[in-house]
Each structure stands twice: as structure tokens, then as C-alpha cells.
Structure 1
Amino acid sequence: MTTNEPQPGPGRPVNPTWLGQIRPEDYRQAPANPAGRFQPAFPPGPAPVRARRSTAGALGLVLAGGLLAFTSIFLVLPFLLARTGVSGFIVGFVASLIPLGTVLLTVRFIDRWEPEPRQLLLFAFAWGSVVSIAVTMLIQPYFSLVAGPASGLDYTTFAVTVQAPVVEEFAKSLGLLLLLLFARKEIDGPVDGVVFAFTIAAGFAFTENILYFGRAIAESSDPGTDLAMVFFLRGVMSPFAHAIFTGTTGIIMGFAARRGSNGPAALAFVAGLVPAMLLHSAWNSMGRDFLAQYVFVQVPIFLVAVLVIMLLRVAERRLTRQRLAEYAAAGWFSAAEVDMLATGRGRRAALRWAKSVGRGAQMKALLAAATRLAFTRQRILTGRDVPAGLRDEQHQLAEIAALRAAVIG
């Protein structure tokens, strides 16, 4: 990531380019440490590891999502059992855990730098695995009735290349839109968008895999062979297919989260659906030349997705360092502490040391709190709900002072 990065000082704003543009008139100095430079604001002692507080909107979203998921089970579960049977459902459920674990471990890796609240990740998974499936089931018949004849395609081709991409991506991305509307404070940019999109997609693919794997058991004269074939295609060759489709929507909506109004969120939802639907349709359209298209089209798309995510993570780290350096200038950290808090190498060394002296939990909490503080400052400087951001900043600075004192102990 390139930056226009003059040294902080009066009238000299630090202004990152594409991870949230900051207008010079919106820049403000970090608040000074009233306790003096590099001094803990609280006496040494065991500091509480504070949980990330949820906003009312996020809490309401989680509760509403849980209710929707519970209701949707009564539609989705009978649908699966009717097509797989009990034995097929059980085998499909167990087999589906493998690709699900692969995607969720990837989500955990991507999300390590600035972890998202667990309750919102649970909402995302529940939305993908149950609610979006129910939405798809409810919408598909009407979409087919309205758009099918107008497409001029036979039903099978229409269902595979048009209906499934449009309806499924719409159903999955509705969860992203709800997160952006009601938990915007927790979405700091495209990396967060990818994390939530991948989690929703992992849930959707999990339930869809139960159906495909279960049917291989229930409808085949040679269930072992057919299950192995379907598992290889879906669990080995393409566990990230849905994640990449919906991930494009997540990236675009993650950028929109840096804006302070709902207008950009709605536009990003629509704009983000286009590449997701096109990628999904291209995947479903692969026919006789499946292997060639997989190797020469889908594999490069996957590699590009990996590269984009890596670049976004690098940009996220640089942004963290840039913002924490401003707090260091205001007396909250030393230069060495910024290096420790804002680099992977520094964090690993800090955790090793803290664990060796029995303060690993406090150090983990300090690293997480410092990252949240950096993104809170970025939210303030880009004009996103500045009054709430300033209040959060004061709470987080006090928390960091307490945690820093506990770590130094």
C-alpha cells in the first residue's frame, strides 16, 4: 500500500490513500497521555481482559438472526431429509465437516490481525447455513416463473447458469447487507468484509454439501464410489468456490463500510452482487471441458483471490502501525512498543516473552486492544460517527493503559 505520509505534526495530517481517504480538514491529533510519556495510567496489577462490547444494533441483529435461523430449520431440515434419508443426512453431515473446517480455518487465519466479534461470526455462519438456504428455497420458484421464460434457455441450463447464481448470491449477500447496516462499527474495511463473506459462504456450502453428499448415498447403486467422486469434486477441488463468489461482494461492501451513510452500503450490495453472480455462473457453466477450465480459469481466479487477501492484510498491518505511531507521538507508546504491537514479528516475540513470565493473557488482550484502537482512530479520521468514535477512543486508551501496566507488572 502506498501512502502520502508526511510526519505527524501541527497541520501535517497522515493521510493513507485507498484504505480510507482522510481529508486534511478532518485530521486531528491523537489525545495526549495525561499521565506523561510512556507511563502507565494505572498502577501495575492484574487487569481484566475486557470483552469487545456490542452495539445495540449488533446485539439486535444477533438475536434476530438466531430467531430467523431457528425458524428456517423447520423448512431446511425436512427438505434435506426428504432428499437424503436419515443415513444419507448423517453421512453427508459428517463428510461436510471436512471442507467446512478448511474454510473456517482460513477465515481464522485471515481474521487474526483484528478479530471480529464471535457473536457476529456466529450470526454470519447461521445466516449462511440455514437462513440463506431458506431464502433461496422461497425465492427460486418465483424467480424461475418470472425470469425462466424470458431467458430463452431450457430449464436445466437456466437453473444452473442463471437461477442458482442469482438467487443464491442474493440470499447469501443479504446477510452481509444486514451486517453493514446494523453492525457497521465492527466492519472496518475489506478484510472484515472478506471474513464475514467467507463465513456466510462456508455455512451455505456446508448445508449444500450435506445435500449433495447425502444424495450420493441415498440415490446411488454404488454409494461409496459416488460419494468419493462427489466429495473429491466439492470437498477437495472446490471447497472455496462459494467463498470466492461471495468474497467479491464482501470486499466491495467492506470498502463501502468506510462511508458513514447507508446509501453507499446499498450501492455496494448491488455492485458486489455482479461479480459474485458472474463467477458463480462461470463455475456452474463448466461442462465437458471442466478440467481445462478448472486448471486455466478457476485455479488462476483462486490464486488472484489469495493475492488480493494477502495485499489487504498487509495494508491492514501498515494502517495499524501508522495510527499507533500517532498515539506514540502523543505519549501512549514508545517507538519500540509500536513495533511490537503493529508487526507480526513483534507480536510473536511479545507473546513468547509474556507467556514465559505468566502474562500471556494480558499480552493477547493488549495486542487486540491496540489494534482496535488503531481502527477506531481511522474511523474518527475518516468521519464515521466521530462522537461515538471519540468516546470509544477514551475507553480504549484507558483499557490499554491498564493492560500495559499489567504486562509490565
Structure 2
Amino acid sequence: MTTNEPRPGRDHPGYSPGGQGPLPQQANPTWLGHVQPEFYRPAPANDRGRFRPAPLPALPAVRSRRRSAGVVGLALAGGFLAFISLFMVLPFLLGSTGISGFVIGFIASLVPLATVLLTVRFIDRWEPEPKALLLFAFVWGSVVSVAVTMLVQPYFSLVAGPASGLDYTTFAVTVQAPVVEEFAKSLGLLLLLLFARKHFDGPVDGVVFAFTIAAGFAFTENILYFGRAIAESGDPGTDLAVVFFLRGVMSPFAHAIFTGTTGLIMGLAARRWHNGLSVLAFGVGLVPAMLLHSGWNSMGPNFLAQYVLVQVPTFLLAVLVIVLLRVAERRLTRQRLKEYAAAGWFTGAEVDMLATGAGRRAALRWARSVGRGPQMRTLLHAATQLAFTRQRILSGRDVPAHQLDERHQLAEIAALRAAVVG
């Protein structure tokens, strides 16, 4: 990596005479990072002509400590709620499955759980979320949302059941379960949006958190279904195999797709709006999640035909959306770092290294060969965070505070860069 950077000038992409932003197609490489012209501003110029840390104001460090405390506090609160919820959820599971059914169900449920969590890891590779928040999401889904569901369902049934005009079984499967379960799961998303906004700032973040919550909920629900197949059947081996095939093979992503739509919509809102309007997306996002959940639960005698004609295309559409989100995220990172390069902070080659998959892989291979793999990985993550901080600045939200973060991150990247170069 070099430290002699070009100064910004008219021959660099992103140069903006008179303080006006570049052409829309330059500033907006994808729909994911659309910027209104009135909010666009050039990246701060590197007047020294070299990538060196600038003196830092005290405020960014304070903000960083507060945000770290917010993440830790949310994780601790989630742990406390999970501990309280266990006193309700665990006896219910053991009473429904018995000890042997619970143990076998727990082990069998690890398979679909691993499938979904590995997918989460793949989606989250470009801009990894803090492990504490992912742990909060999983704990919320696997324990707290289950307890909320158990508490709310009787009241919802009492109020909405008679008004629906449906028999109890149909109501419970097609209305009660979708409404109450999606509400309980998505409450965790709402808490993440309110108390960890820095890390819930786009649709990819929303999908990652929603998939993690849903993976936890499905894990606990699978323990119940698999355990019951053992405890309540005259042929437990066969019944377990059937239930496992239906839930663990044919539909491990069902809950993830349901709740993922809520996370996607909340993330899109968070990218563009302030907290107040973003919270409204919680209610909007629940609607498609509940409809998808109800549609899944409504499949009856024609299950196989509906699965092939409806559920498989829905799954493929979800895969396509995730792929498009990842592509858009990479393009956005590249564009924002190019704007820093135009301001003299990076060279074009460094942008290619920091903002492309091939460049990152090559950089990590080189760094590992000289014993600096962890430093390079941290630098890549920091560069991605810098690009997303710039996106927050260009969104027009809380601009002065994010500009302080930007200065702090530029200085941090300078130190990381020196550690990598050696």
C-alpha cells in the first residue's frame, strides 16, 4: 500500500466545483445508496497530500464509548429477558416433549439452525455486525419472542377469534400464529433499530438481524415439533423423519423469509429516514411477513403443488433479493471510497483493494503471508465502516455528528494502514 496520494483536482472523478455534487449517476451507483442532490457534499480534502491521522476532537471518542455501552447494554438486557423467559419456555417445552423428546429435538434442530446461521454469515461478510448484537438477536428469537408469543396468544384469541368468524383451529393456524409470532419476533428488530441505530442502517443489516431472530425462533419451535414426534407417536422414528424432512429440509428458511421482509423494509427506512419515521416501517413491514406466514400455514391438501408453485418461487425471489443487496452494498462501498480517493485519501488501486471481493482476497493473502492478516482484516472492515459513515452524511441525517465520526475513522484507518504496511 502506498502513502503518496494525489491531491483532489478537476481531473479526478467526483470533483465538484462550487461545492455542488457530482452527476447523479456518480453519486448514486445503486438504488441502495441514493442521495438527494441537496445533501451531497464532497469528501473532506486531504490537504497534507499524505494519509496521516488528523488531530481528533474529544467528542467522537465519547460518542464511541456511548455507542459501545449501548450495544453492551442491549445485549445485557436481552440476556436478562431471556433468563426470565426461560422460566416460561423451558417448562412448556419439557411438558410437551418429555426429557428424551426434548434432547432429541434439540439435537435435530441444530441442523436447520446451522443452515440458516451459515447463510447469515454469508450475507453479513461485507460489513459484519457486532457479535453482541447478533447474540441479542438470536436470544430474542429463541427465548424472548417465544415467551411473548405465549403471553399474547390467549388475549389475541379472546379478542380477535370471535370476530374472525373462523373455527378455532383455522383461526389459530392462519391468523393467530402469523400475527402474534411475527409481532413477537419483530419486536427485537424494533429494539435494535432504536438502541443500535448505527448498526441497523440499511436493508442488509435488517435482513441479517431478522434472519438471526427467525433462526432462533425456528430453533425453539423445531425442538417442540421434533420432540412431540418422539413423545406422542407410536412410531417415533418414522414420524420424526417426516417432520424433520418437512421442517428441516423443505422449509428451514420459512421463518427467515417471513421476518426477513420486515427487516428489509425497516432497513430501507432506516437508510433514508430519521428514527421516528423508521419506526413506522415496523408496522408496514409486519404486513407482508404476516401474509407470507399465513400463506404458508394455509397450505392444506394441495401442499406439494402449492409448495412447488408458490413457496419455491418465493424462496428463489428471496435469494435474488439477497444477491442484489450484496451487489448494491459493494458498489456503494466502492463509490464512497472513490470519493475519498478523489479527495486525496486513497489511490485508485487501494480503492480496488478495499472495495472489491477480488481485491480483498488478494490483500488478505498477502497480509497473511507476512503475518499481518488480522490487521488487514480490521483495515478492510474499517474502510467499509468509513464508506457507510459517508453514506449517512450524504443522507442528511445528523450530519455534524457523523462528520466527527468520519474524522475519527480516517485517523483510525491511518493507524491501521501503518500497522499493515509495517
* Same-fold call, TM cutoff 0.5: yes
Q: Which residue of structure 2 aligns with residue 26 of structure 1?
A: 39
Residue 200 (str. 1) matches residue 207 (str. 2): no
Q: Which residue of structure 1 aligns with residue 129 of structure 2?
A: 116
Counting only pairs closer than 5 Å after superposition, residues 10-409 of structure 1 correspond to structure 2 as 10=17, 11-13=20-22, 14-16=26-28, 18-37=31-50, 39-41=51-53, 54-409=67-422
CA–CA distance in 1 between the matches of 2:240 and 2:400? 56
CA–CA distance in 2 between the matches of 1:58 and 1:257? 18
Shift of 1:308: 0.6
Shift of 1:56: 4.0
SS of match in other structure, 1:286: coil
CA–CA distance in 2 between the matches of 1:224 and 1:110? 35
Identity %: 80
CA–CA distance in 2 between the matches of 1:122 and 1:187? 15
Shift of 1:187: 1.4
| Letter of the 1:71 counterpart | I
Q: Is the 8 Å Cα contact of residues 190 and 254 (structure 1) preserved in structure 2?
A: yes
CA–CA distance in 1 between the matches of 2:76 and 2:249? 35
Q: Which residue of structure 1 aligns with residue 61 of structure 2?
A: none
CA–CA distance in 2 between the matches of 1:250 and 1:196? 7
CA–CA distance in 2 between the matches of 1:394 and 1:235? 47
CA–CA distance in 2 between the matches of 1:62 and 1:388? 24
Structure 1 length-normalised TM: 0.93
Shift of 1:8: 3.4
CA–CA distance in 1 between the matches of 2:398 and 2:93? 44
CA–CA distance in 2 between the matches of 1:26 and 1:12? 9
| Letter of the 1:269 counterpart | F
CA–CA distance in 1 between the matches of 2:15 and 2:88? 57
Structure 2 length-normalised TM: 0.90
Q: Is the 8 Å Cα contact of residues 181 and 265 (structure 1) preserved in structure 2?
A: no
- Calculate the aligned-residue CA RMSD, in Å: 1.5
Shift of 1:40: 4.8
Paired residues in the alignment total 394
Larger mean Cα displacement after TM superposition, 87-96 or 381-390: 381-390
Structure 1 stretches of 4+ moved >6 Å: none
| Letter of the 2:105 counterpart | G
Q: Which residue of structure 1 aligns with residue 14 of structure 2?
A: 7
CA deviation profile, 1:225-276 (whole Å, cap 9, x unmatched): 1111100000000000000000000100001112442332222111100100
Unpaired runs of 5+ in structure 1? Answer: 1-5, 43-51
| Letter of the 1:277 counterpart | M
CA–CA distance in 2 between the matches of 1:283 and 1:41? 54
CA–CA distance in 2 between the matches of 1:152 and 1:70? 38
